[in-house]
Structure formats: C-alpha cells, structure tokens
Structure 1
C-alpha cells in the first residue's frame, strides 16, 4: 500500500482521515501528560506519597520524552512508520492502564516513564509523517489541524479531570481515557497509509543538521522562545493567586479562557501560515513576551489578566505550527532527524524554563519569575531578527 501523497504519476491527495487520527492522538497525549496536575493531591494521598514525590513522578515523563525524541527514530530503523505510530499509541494505552491501576508509587513512575517514551517518539515523528500524508502546500494546514488536538486537551483536560476526580476518584479519570485511546489505536490501523522508510535513520543525520548554521540558529531561537513561555506558564497560578488575588473559581475560569483561546490560534494558524515562514518566527516571543509584560503591569486587575492570558493562549497554539512549519521547510531532506532535535529542544526548554522560574520564585518573587520570562523572549527576538538567517540557503 502506498501513501496517497506518494503514488507515482498521480496528483497528490491529502489523507485527511489520517491527519484527524493524529489530532486525536495529540489530544490524548496532552491529556495524559497534564491531567495529573489537576489531580496531584488525591493521587499523592491514594499512593501514600508526598505531593512533592508525586510531582516528580509526573515530571519524569518529560525527561524520558527528551531521551525518546532523540533515539526513537534511530531505534526504529527501517520499520514502517505506520506501525511505529501504532506501537507508540499502544504504549500510551499501557501507560494509562499502569497509572490507573498503580498499587504504589513505583508503578506510577513506570507508567509515567512509558508515557514519556510515547510523547518523545510521537512528536519526533509527527511532522515527518504529516509531510507524507498531505501535499507540501497543505502541510501548515495539516499541522494546525493536528495541533487542534492540543488546544482541545489544553482547554478541557485539567478542569474536567479535576471535576470528575472529585466525584469518582482520580483512578476513574485515567480509566475513562482508556476506551478513547483504544478507539484511536484502531483508527490509526485503518486510516494511516503504509509509510515505509526511504532510508535508515541514524544519529549522524542529527549531527549533520546541527552543522548547518541556519538550522542551529533556528533551534537556539526556538529554545529561547519556548523557555520564555514556560518560565512564565509553569508559575501562572502563583501569579494569579498572589498578584491578581483570585479565588479558586475565578482561577478555573481564567485557565479555561486561556485554553479556549487556543482554538482561535489553531484557526489562525491554518488560515494564515503558508509560504515563507521567516517573518512569523518572531511572533511567539514577541506576542507572548508582550502579554507577560502586560500581566506584570496590569495583572492586579482581573479583566486585564484575562485579556493578556487569552492573547497568550491564542499564540501558544500558533507557536508549535510556526516552528514546525519552519522545520518542515528547512530540514525537508531529513524531517525525522529535524523533528527529533526540535522535540528534544522543546522538552528541554520546558524543563529548564520551569527550573529557572522556580529558582527566581523561591529566591526573589513571582514578579522576578515573569521578568525572567521577558528577558528570555527578548533574547529570542534579538537572535531571530528578520528570520532570514534561519532559512536554508536558496
């Protein structure tokens, strides 16, 4: 079976059913990764662990995601990418079962580590797979559709998880995801075309990309942009509690507003991102950095805080589409190697941004954390400039 977009001698056709299947997988990955944040306290109580220990178990998925993003495409060798994606989705299913049924803290750690492998492996391959499912002109729109799953999960996973966890218990929340992922697994098998590997992937392809000055500059700029975003986002709740002075209900509404704004970003990404992506590379750092400055200046006013959070949330979903489109256009000869490096860089930036923000919060104040985010965004803007130096030479 040959991919619809690879059929020799015929006009390329987009496999949108497969793209939708990928979007559902994204939603489940994001929900599985961040659902525990809203269930931290009952999970700790249920497993006889401290909240700090449970938090470490949650973050361990990020560590394994970094490792998997660099190694999965190489380890998969010449395996058909359809079946690699099917296997990763099956591992996600197993991870959810392990977490839901975890009798102790060690089992939770194993389940979360397995989920990290799924996250890193999926994202490392996702853009390369999209590039094979649709014609080149449709790649930005397909990426926006896939990242629509991220917007859905970001908007609803935490509040729904918290609500259902309070009624049925935290284990029931994870069990509720199992049938959805099972359906997604079957959908993958039906909708994804066969995607045999054209050549064996190895770590040298990643080193080759890092030797290219334009790609190296882009990767550093991407890391600074993501680091800026998550230095702020990780500690948004303490800011809203300490500076804005919100109660739990208002906090939930503001977070839901931020998540729902992501749908606007997804729509805009699909409609406006096409052709030369260079002028757009600075938008995430510029807009999200400006929103953070707005929170620093006017964050004590609830309505102002809501406005800036909505702006931040809309750009957050465009963020991934912009940079993955850049990767597709400038590492098209090695998309899996490019995807591996991008995912590793993003996951590392998220972890390091959270560490930097935490040090500033504990050592100085929550405002210092947000100022640190703005400084990283400014460094990203200085490096990106017009974006032309991030493009592959013609």
Structure 2
C-alpha cells in the first residue's frame, strides 16, 4: 500500500512553510564561508580549524539522511519536521554563544542533524501536501529557498558580520529559524507515519529496478557540478583574470540565473521530466568544456557561468520529481538515499577536483567536470526512466 496520502487540494501555505525551513537551514549551512576569519580570530583558532565546522555539518547530515527515516518511523511527520526546525534554532544559538571550538562543533553537529533529516523528509512531505500533478511546481517553490539562500547567505553574512559581528549574525539566523518554526506550526497538517521503514528498507529500495542506476546518475551529475563550482573562483582569478569585484558580479549572475532556472523547472518537468533530466547535465557538460577551451574573456565567461546556473537550477527539482514518481511508496527512504548521494557527491567532487587542480591546473578540473556530466547524461539516456512506478 502506498505510504503517502496525497491531498485533493494543494496546501500551499504548508509548502511555503517547508520552503522557509529550507531557506533557514541552507543559510545557516553557508554562513561560515563568509564569516570564517572573524570566527577564527574570536575563538583563537586557525581558519582551517574553524573550517571543520563545515566538515562536521556535512558528515552528520550524511549519516542522518540514512538513519532518520527508520529512527522516526513511529512519529507523526509534522512533529519530526518541527523538531528539525527547533534543532536549527538551537544550533544557531549555540554557535552564536560558543566560547571555544568544541561548543562551536556541537552547534554545527545539531545543524547537520537538522539538514540531513529535513532534506530526507522534504520530498515525501511535499508529496503529501499537494496533488500529484502539482508536485513539480511545489518542489520548484521549495528549492527556491535554496536558490535565495545561495544568493543571499554569503554576501549578507559578510556584510552584517562586519556591521554587527559574526555572533549577532548567527543570532539573526536563529530568528529566521524561529519564523520557520512558527509558520510550520501554524500550517503543517498532521501526517501520521505508515509502513514499517527500517534500515533494511534503504537496501531494498536501492535494489529496485532502475533505482540504483538513477541514484548513480544523480550522484554523477552533482559530482560534476561541485567539481566545477568548488573551483570556480580560482578559475575566474587565473584564467578569466578578474578581480574580487568581477568574481562577485559573476557569482551573483550565477545565483540569479540559478533562481530563474529553479523557477522555470516546475513547468519544464511537468512538460517532460525525462527531457529535463537529459538536457540539463548535457548543457552543463558542454558549458564546462567551453569554459576550459575558450575561457579568458570576462563577459563570455560570465555568460557561460550564468547559463550553468540556469541549467543547474532545474537539477534538484528534476531529480526530486523523478524520485517522487519512481518510489512513491517509500519516498522517505528514497529521499534519504538521494540526500546521501548528493552529500557524497559534494565531498567527491571537491576532493577529486582538488587532486586534478594540484596536478594539472584548474582548466582540467572543468574538463573532468564536463566529462563526468556527459557520462551522467549517457547513464540517464541508457537506463533512467521517468514514468510513474506501479505500487502495490
């Protein structure tokens, strides 16, 4: 029996509340990138040690995404999501008041639990809040929270960090988490769990026909993207030859284009999910190779990076929709697998890209990124289906 009961009428207010939660979580995740130096100085640690706050968050998010569905299988999903928002608030408060690195890491561990858990539950939640034909549009709304956080978190964190101090920035982030909690409390309906999800369910879902291949393809897409995006700044500095202001402008263009792509993705996926799954990584791979071979002109490079952001905006919506259609009866377990695959891809893309960067230079990082995205496209064409799976 399908574990998800979809609504006859969409609960858009509840979708907005989930979007606020995503925005608060991703904002908190990205803040250390823009506040690392003042955090390190204040805590009397190196920037490298302060950077472990990011590592701790990602590692715990990966583990949580695999375990949370089984651990909470008897708890109403409304209460589980509200608990993650409380963890977000607690994390930001602990970081804001942290007297040393250990307390800082504890706060970031709580954020990792909230991130991994909320993301794992988010797709299944959206499926229960809107009718099936509205799922792509609802997912594009939810992922717009990611796009806005990507655009706003780093520059605003840096600006307000200089203005009011890094600790007050995290206090403000806790207020954002409080807003998300209040709206979720007011709008999320009761969502009683059903099914008997256990750790073995993850393996069973992965072994379903075409699911494992789809997870592999998604992992390749995100690995190719993060190999590119992690090393975009050294590319712009050494190949394009722009300064700090130019880098900021190009990255802003990427963020705005990503938001537009995310906004358009709902309509594209509704028209043809399979075409979206194929075209987006194919375009990104072409752009990566174009930058590697033709990079050096600021206006052209900025346009190509913006096009990459536009194409990538469709990726999370497309793969989340694929998951909702392929594994509708175990969406939470499949969501955990997808979140784990993405977190693994972030680490792999950054690590492999770093090795290539050290050995061959940043241009070859973009060549490898493009090659990986072409490989992902071939896997999608060969074996990833986009039709709705039959459920018992």
TM-score scaled by structure 1?
0.94
The correspondence for 2:94, drawn from 92, 98, 118, is 98
Superposed displacement of residue 188, structure 1: 0.8
Superposed displacement of residue 389, structure 1: 4.8
**DSSP-derived class of the 2:314 partner:** helix
The runs of at least 4 aligned residues of structure 1 exceeding 3 Å deviation read: 4-7, 386-394
Aligned residue in 2 for 1:226? 222
Equivalent runs, 1:141-156 vs 2, <5 Å = 141-156=137-152
Q: Deviations over 1:299-321 (max 9, x none)?
A: 21111111011111112221100
Alpha-carbon distance in structure 1 between the residues aligned to 2:48 and 2:365: 21
Q: Check conservation: 2:6, 2:127, Cα contact below 8 A.
A: no
Aligned residue in 1 for 2:243? 247
1:200 aligns with 2:214: no
Alpha-carbon distance in structure 2 between the residues aligned to 1:175 and 1:331: 39
Aligned residue in 2 for 1:333? 329
**RMSD over aligned Cα, in angstroms?**
1.7
Superposed displacement of residue 200, structure 1: 2.7
Seen in structure 2, the aligned counterparts of structure 1 residues 350 and 178 have a Cα distance that, compared at 3 Å, is: same
Alpha-carbon distance in structure 2 between the residues aligned to 1:372 and 1:233: 12
List alignment gaps of at least 5 residues for structure 2.
none
Aligned residue in 2 for 1:70? 66
Q: Check conservation: 2:325, 2:389, Cα contact below 8 A.
A: no
Q: Check conservation: 1:78, 1:201, Cα contact below 8 A.
A: no
Alpha-carbon distance in structure 1 between the residues aligned to 2:272 and 2:289: 29
Q: Deviations over 1:141-176 (max 9, x none)?
A: 000000111111111111111111122221121111
List alignment gaps of at least 5 residues for structure 1.
none
Equivalent runs, 1:291-370 vs 2, <5 Å = 291-370=287-366
Q: Deviations over 1:34-59 (max 9, x none)?
A: 11111122211111111111122212
1:380 aligns with 2:376: yes
Q: Check conservation: 2:262, 2:310, Cα contact below 8 A.
A: yes
Alpha-carbon distance in structure 1 between the residues aligned to 2:189 and 2:225: 35
Count of paired positions: 387
Seen in structure 2, the aligned counterparts of structure 1 residues 276 and 303 have a Cα distance that, compared at 3 Å, is: closer
